[in-house]
Structure 1
Amino acid sequence: MRAHNLYVSWLLCVVALAAPTCPPAPSISSTTIDSSPNPIGTLYPTSITGTINGTIAVVPIRYELARSIIPAQYGILKKAYTSLLPGFPADKYPLIVRSIIDHEVGVDGVALIPDFQSVHIFYPFVDLLADGYSSFVYEKYLILTGTNVAAIEGAEAYGIVAIPATFEPTNNAYAFSHFSEMGENSGAIFLNAYTNLSDCPAVTTRFEPLPFVGPWPLEFYMNVTNQPVFSNAVKCDQQITLFNTTLSEDKNAPVGLIGDITVSTPYLPSDSTFNDVYGLKVDIAFIENNLLDCSSLKGL
């Protein structure tokens, strides 16, 4: 009996040691939702429009890793992204991690679905049509607000694996915070995405603002956010992002970022941490065209 108890104690100790240790979440000093009203809803009365507020980061990963994840039948338009990213490492590929909140999504100025948060881990510059120049985004997984049925069903219509999640901070794409060990406001921007696969965040982002947008030009971010998205290639989603509205001009102009990102499996083949990643904080309006034949987007 004593031996059995010792074995149970040892087993519990092993389990405790094997359990993941989650880093403490930053404490939030402000949770003000700063998504402004949709400025284009009534300008396009027959189209789905909305706003996207959040961060978009360029994560250099090994080209061979990207090639192993993007389905083999599709080429990668390497010349297209290297021309937009001067100085980008020749052996790397620009994985995109986008942490956002969709706001006032609807038709003719009337919001039809509740605001929802999401983290996109996507692969741009994919030669879906094999024409050598039409860039598409491949997206297998989408982590998004678990209570928003319309958003989940919308993602699944393209064959995307929709992962229900909760977010910290809630109902915002990011929040300014301070880290307890620093003892003062660091001006950091952060987001944690939690799924039911683990008590630890599936994705974390931590950014500090920069006094400039670079090193990756604004034109690159405009390009990748306007590439049609596909998963099973039966249908494509076209989101036309507008960087020229009041949401992203003058005092609301895009802000450059630098920081760290963690992504757990299965969203990448192994748990990964990326340091000193450059990105952008921006609020933009969009027009969305759903469930299009991918071939109709040739040349975009």
Structure 2
Amino acid sequence: MRLPTFSLLLSSAALAHTPPFPATTIDSSPNPIGTLYPDSVTGTINGTIAVVPIPYALARELVPAQYGILRKAYRDALPGFPRDMYPLIVRSILDHDVGMNGIQLIPDFQSVHIFYPFIDLLADNSSSFAYGKYLVLTSTNAAAIAGSQAYGQLAVPASFSPENNAYAFSSRKRRDEIFLNAYTNASTTPVVTTRFTPLPAVGPWPLEFYVNITNQPIFADGVKCDQQVTFFNTSLSTGANAPVGLIGDISISAPYLIEDRTFRNVFGVKVDVAFLERNFLECESLRGL
């Protein structure tokens, strides 16, 4: 999400002079950890995470040449993953109830993250980081856009269908299929689409892999890093709310990849998680994660 603390402080000051956020129908549960970490930015992230196998050679074109890719690390984390392929991650989400000490400070917003995990930013052949050049996100959320740009990301203002939710059912008759479309302010057709149906269980990629990649520090220009700690052990993600395995199709338009591509029968999960965020960290301080 990458919300710098100064953006939250500005939002907090604005709240003293503005009415509450407009009412909207949002199918996400409240933040369960806000008061547990009163001095930190916390919230929830509801949505889908998909693992898209792409040729390693293509990944090498998309990740800046100065950064290595930790091939052994992702192969160890993904038993049975196709050889000579790389796990591109597409995460379509709703950030909900984001604030400090149990007080929501910014409106909920949607985003699509297309990112590259297991990047050797520190050249130590060990520490895994996630590289993300673009972030497609709600055009009306100035704090989220500013937070993304502060890390050197290209923030792409967008609208989404469904609005204000991480996904929706394709139809009343097909309540097993979920979808999300993202439209940039300059597009009349979606730049990213996702269509998924549930599986009996999470697989073939283990749940631990999704925990791993969503906890890797995030960077764009390599100057500062964002550490987002995601919790898969709260009431949002356990019991009846445990992660659900998915299979489906994803389409991504250029320039978010080199060319327009549709990926079929990719696997992923649908899950709601709590998170804690530490902003503007020296990337070196995250060595060993």
Q: State the TM-score, normalized to the length of structure 1.
A: 0.87
CA contact (8 A) 2:25 2:164 kept: no
Give the counterpart of 2:106 among 113, 136, 151.
113
Structure 2 residue 266 is matched with structure 1 residue 277 = yes
Deviation string, structure 1 residues 255-295 (Cα, Å, up to 9, x no partner):
00000000000000000000000000000000000010000
SS of the aligned residue for 1:248 comes to: coil
Who is 2:81 aligned against? 88
Who is 2:164 aligned against? 171
Who is 1:24 aligned against? none
Who is 1:3 aligned against? none
Moved over 6 A (4+): none
**Residue correspondence of structure 1 range 260-299 to structure 2 within 5 A:** 260-299=249-288
Who is 1:215 aligned against? 204
Whole-angstrom distance in 1 between the partners of 2:127 and 2:174 = 44
**Residue correspondence of structure 1 range 91-102 to structure 2 within 5 A:** 91-102=84-95
Whole-angstrom distance in 2 between the partners of 1:133 and 1:232 = 20
Cα RMSD of the aligned pairs, angstroms, is 1.1
Who is 1:16 aligned against? none
Whole-angstrom distance in 1 between the partners of 2:188 and 2:235 = 39
Residue 34 (structure 1) shift: 2.1
Who is 2:235 aligned against? 246
Aligned pair count?
266
Who is 1:199 aligned against? 188
Residue 186 (structure 1) shift: 4.8
Structure 2 residue 149 is matched with structure 1 residue 156 = yes
Residue 214 (structure 1) shift: 0.4
Who is 2:131 aligned against? 138
Whole-angstrom distance in 2 between the partners of 1:176 and 1:50 = 24
Whole-angstrom distance in 2 between the partners of 1:94 and 1:178 = 30
Whole-angstrom distance in 2 between the partners of 1:186 and 1:65 = 35
Whichever residue aligns with residue 120 of structure 1, its letter is: H
**Residue correspondence of structure 1 range 21-100 to structure 2 within 5 A:** 33-100=26-93
Deviation string, structure 1 residues 113-151 (Cα, Å, up to 9, x no partner):
100000000000000000011000000000000000000
Whole-angstrom distance in 2 between the partners of 1:187 and 1:209 = 7
Who is 1:10 aligned against? none
Unaligned ranges ≥5, structure 2: 1-23
Structure 2 residue 117 is matched with structure 1 residue 124 = yes
SS of the aligned residue for 1:233 comes to: coil
Who is 2:178 aligned against? 189
Identity %: 71
Unaligned ranges ≥5, structure 1: 1-30
